[in-house]
């Protein structure tokens, strides 16, 4: 990508004006339009602006499409523009936008509801795709497990995760277990493994069943039977949970049918979007990440930008919230919205004092 270009104050002003005009209009920006923008102040004559634009083009910051007299910003120009914004902490969402977001999250009770609503809200207020990816750790951490005896040899296992997800399945056992044995098994799991990830519980149980079989012979044989029959396993609680909304936003701005086809094919592969978020948004970072040009991860999205952040509850990672949109996105407002919504999780799930 190259290092940040060294620009004079005049070059910075012209480049910023070009980027913001292009975001607003979607059309190549001509020197005459910039001359009207600056109003011949600070020595910004049409001739001066043309010279500056030529210099910016030589620096790889502007492209000239076909024979047009105007210029459009390159991905490098957008990256430079984002760096000049100074970060989301320096700008505040408009009160009406903040109120809209607050109202949209009213009544949210679980992490899953929060993330699902996030994808909807970000799609609504941006010109892109609203995406929310659940943290595997959060969505598959044990809150409570319960067993109900249905008939001889058939048991209903209900697993509730800390994210509020309810996983249930009917187990067909080789050996019938009494209601008392099921209650004892559930109590053992809830007391020993509360807050553990499902995967970690599986690993630990396999080790304990082998090591402690003699000491807890009757209890561990019950646990082994339930464990072997899938009380803590299955495809539905292993797959990453991702919410996506706003594909229509991208369709509205795309006229090239072939590009539209390849773009849609890329976006339909949820696994690739999950890889994209995991590649660019580090769960440890505390600020919004902006990535212009996603071609390294998904070539079809080279003209797109990712604006994402990690949603937290204290030190816990709830997941990733993001907007994927065209490079002509309203950067500052979208950065602020993503930042605000990511921080909103801490207030939504804050226990009452």
CA 128, CA 309: separation in Å to the nearest integer? 16
pLDDT of residue 204: 83
CA 88, CA 217: separation in Å to the nearest integer? 58
pTM of the model: 0.71
pLDDT of residue 131: 93
* pLDDT higher than threshold 80 for residue 38: yes
Contact 14, 49 (CB under 8 A): yes
Task: Report the mean per-residue pLDDT for the chain.
Answer: 82
* Domains along the chain with CATH numbers: 9-74 (1.10.10.10), 88-138+241-348 (3.30.450.40), 141-237 (3.30.390.60)
pLDDT of residue 226: 79
pLDDT of residue 42: 66
Of 114-128, 149-163, 252-266, 332-346, least confident by mean pLDDT is 252-266
pLDDT of residue 174: 86
- CA angle centred on 129, ends 104 and 118, rounded to 5°: 25
Of 14-18, 136-140, 277-281, 340-344, least confident by mean pLDDT is 136-140
User: What Cα–Cα distance (Å) separates residue 10 from each residue in 22, 42, 46, 107, 344?
Assistant: 18, 9, 13, 50, 39
Higher-confidence residue: 267 or 140? 267
pLDDT of residue 4: 60
* pLDDT higher than threshold 80 for residue 32: yes
pLDDT of residue 352: 46
Interval 212-238 mean pLDDT: 64
CA 344, CA 353: separation in Å to the nearest integer? 18
């Amino acid at each position: 990508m190259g290092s940040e270009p060294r620009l004079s104050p005049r070059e910075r002003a012209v480049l910023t004006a070009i980027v913001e005009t292009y975001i607003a209009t979607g059309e190549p920006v001509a020197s005459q339009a910039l001359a009207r923008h600056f109003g011949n102040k600070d020595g910004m004559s049409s001739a001066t602006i043309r010279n500056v634009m030529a210099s910016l083009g030589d620096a790889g910051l502007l492209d000239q499409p076909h024979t047009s007299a105007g210029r459009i910003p390159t991905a490098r120009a957008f990256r430079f523009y984002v760096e000049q914004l100074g970060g989301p902490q320096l700008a505040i969402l408009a009160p009406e936008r903040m109120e809209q977001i607050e109202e949209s999250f009213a009544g949210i009770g679980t992490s899953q509801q929060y993330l699902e609503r996030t994808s909807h809200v970000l799609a609504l207020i941006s010109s892109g795709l609203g995406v929310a990816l659940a943290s595997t750790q959060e969505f598959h951490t044990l809150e409570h497990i319960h067993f109900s005896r249905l008939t001889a040899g058939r048991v209903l296992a209900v697993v509730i995760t800390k994210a509020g997800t309810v996983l249930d399945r009917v187990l067909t056992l080789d050996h019938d277990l009494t209601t008392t044995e099921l209650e004892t098994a559930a109590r053992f799991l809830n007391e020993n493994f509360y807050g553990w990830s499902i995967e970690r519980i599986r690993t630990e149980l396999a080790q304990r069943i082998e090591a402690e079989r003699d000491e807890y012979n009757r209890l561990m044989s019950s646990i082994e039977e339930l464990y072997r029959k899938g009380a803590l396993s299955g495809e539905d609680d292993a797959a990453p949970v991702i919410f996506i909304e706003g594909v229509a936003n991208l369709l509205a701005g795309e006229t090239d049918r072939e590009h539209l086809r390849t773009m849609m094919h890329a976006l339909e592969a949820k696994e690739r979007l999950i890889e994209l978020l995991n590649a660019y948004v580090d769960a440890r970072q505390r600020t919004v990440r902006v990535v212009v040009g996603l071609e390294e991860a998904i070539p079809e999205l080279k003209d797109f930008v990712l604006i994402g952040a990690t949603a937290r509850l204290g030190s816990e990672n709830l997941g990733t919230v993001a907007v994927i949109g065209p490079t002509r996105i309203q950067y500052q407002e979208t950065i602020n919205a993503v930042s605000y919504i990511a921080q909103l999780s801490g207030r939504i799930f804050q226990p009452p004092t």
